[in-house]
Amino acid sequence: MKIKLILVSFLFVGSIFSQSKDDNLNWHNIDPAGLHTEQAYELFKDKKSTTVLVAVIDSGVDIEHEDLVGKIWTNPKEIPNNNIDDDKNGYIDDIHGWNFLGNSKGQMQDVACYEKVRMYRQMRDKFERLKENQVKKEDSVDYQLFITLKNEINEEVEKYQGYQKQYEQITAYIKMVPKAVSKILGKPGYTLEDLKSWKPKDEQGKQLKMFAELMLKGEMSISMMEEQSKHVNDALNFQLNVNYDDRQFVNDNPTDFTNVTYGNNILEGEDASHGTHVSGIIAAIRKNGLGADGVADNAQIMVLRAVPNGDEQDKDIALAIRYAVNNGAKIINMSFGKGYSPFQKEVYEALAYASSKDVLLVHAAGNDNKNIDVEPNFPTPLYSFQKEKLPLFLTIGASTRTPKKHLAADFSNYGKVQVDVFAPGKDIYSTVPQSAYKKFDGTSMAAPMVAGVAALLKSYYPSLTMLQIKTIILTSAKYYGRTKQVLPGTDKKVRFEEMSVTGGVVDLVEAVKMCEVEVGKSK
């Protein structure tokens, strides 16, 4: 039986499970292709820092993680667990942030539909039974969108059904590999060395060897396949299910932006791996021998749970942004995104509100290896109704440790207009719930790198505005623009400057030097 290996990305616009092994778990801070974080800290030896608050809008965070002790924001205006809205902001006992995916009974929404499914469902009653020649002229644009959504959903369902069958085949194959290989080698407890000396000539033997090697290296197992299968089943049963009610545990109308006081203060949710990983990249305790070191040594994390396993609701994101701004965050990390956004103006207004208050928005570019100048990824700094980009919005692509030809991660989105700069997003080791650690890949990992850099610079140079810091991050990026790099998702090589505004990767040492110059000007 010949098995085709497939890798599928799940959960969020920016997160993929990393299966590769690497002894250097802190590469993004110390490697020549990384942020140069450790070198930057050498420049801070005689400086004092101030605490900077970073809001993480995500899937939730394990606020009791051992490597985040002392790194979680506490609302100074709220008395814990007294069931009173002490600070009168509309949220009762919002001690460390807020969960927009729950209700007052403590129930939580963990899985949600894709936005295109929600949009299709809203239009279904109106258009499902109509043929194109029966559609009113004023409805023709909406009808074409309806057909597009329907086709996209059907294509994805078919794709995931294919994945489901293949995972079943791979799982069955994994179960028979040890016995088959042992029989061929005449050795039940074979090692990697044994496999290296085995030179199969037929295709089936070569495939057996490949699977056996992956299994011994810990890069493939039944549990991994079960985890992937769960994501496939979630896609088919919930995310792509046009009949699934993905607001049943929130008890809120996501189209009514006047109701802002829903949710609860339970911040972890069913799976907070993504948000915990993001938070660790920004602020995990440095030099404590646990996990990898966070970028910013004096950052605190405000937890805002608004991103389910599926597509986030525009309303939840808009309210989370406003909550972050109103409660003192200077940076908002947004490691999420989607291809459709029905309430663009409402989200834009929240983004513009953040910019007006000198709050920097850092957004993951997405993991579809596509040009988001052509195929949008929301939220965006430049909606169709805008004339200019939002001034305090950064979109981040994911870079790797191999700048010679594969600097852009093969999954990363790109765009000469929409993507500002790249940052490490491949093989990133960080915190996950229950005081554990894992490696993830994704632009979701690259965005908090930049959020951490912004927090670090603001911490040591508090007199600088976030607009100044944003400008410095972009201007100081290490320029790779004229190098030929593989365009994500293709075999084609293009100049790296074609993939982003700067053609560069964030460089913290150069950013610190520029901050010194900028602060010196004001003295």
β 52-58/97-99 pair status: unpaired
293 is catalytic: no
Q: Phi, psi (5° rounding) for residue 231? A: -65, -40
How far apart, in whole angstroms, are the C-alpha atoms of residue 236 and residue 363?
27
444 is catalytic: yes
For 432, the 3-state DSSP assignment is: strand
Determine which one of 110, 252, 427, 441 is catalytic.
Answer: 252
Q: How far is CA 10 from the centre of its chain?
A: 10
For 494, the 3-state DSSP assignment is: strand
For 248, the 3-state DSSP assignment is: coil
Determine which one of 444, 459, 476, 500 is catalytic.
Answer: 444
What's 350-419 look like in SS3?
Answer: HHHHHHHCCCEEEEECCCCCCECCCCCCECCCCCCCCCCCCCCEEEEEEECCCCCCCCECCCCCECCCCC
Q: Phi, psi (5° rounding) for residue 423? A: -150, 160
How far apart, in whole angstroms, are the C-alpha atoms of residue 71 and residue 342?
35
252 is catalytic: yes
Show the tokens assigned to 85.
């809205």
Q: How far is CA 330 from the centre of its chain?
A: 19
Q: Are 487 and 15 in contact (CB under 8 A)?
A: no
Determine which one of 36, 274, 277, 363 is catalytic.
Answer: 274
How far apart, in whole angstroms, are the C-alpha atoms of residue 332 and residue 57?
7
**Active site (catalytic) residues:** 252, 274, 444
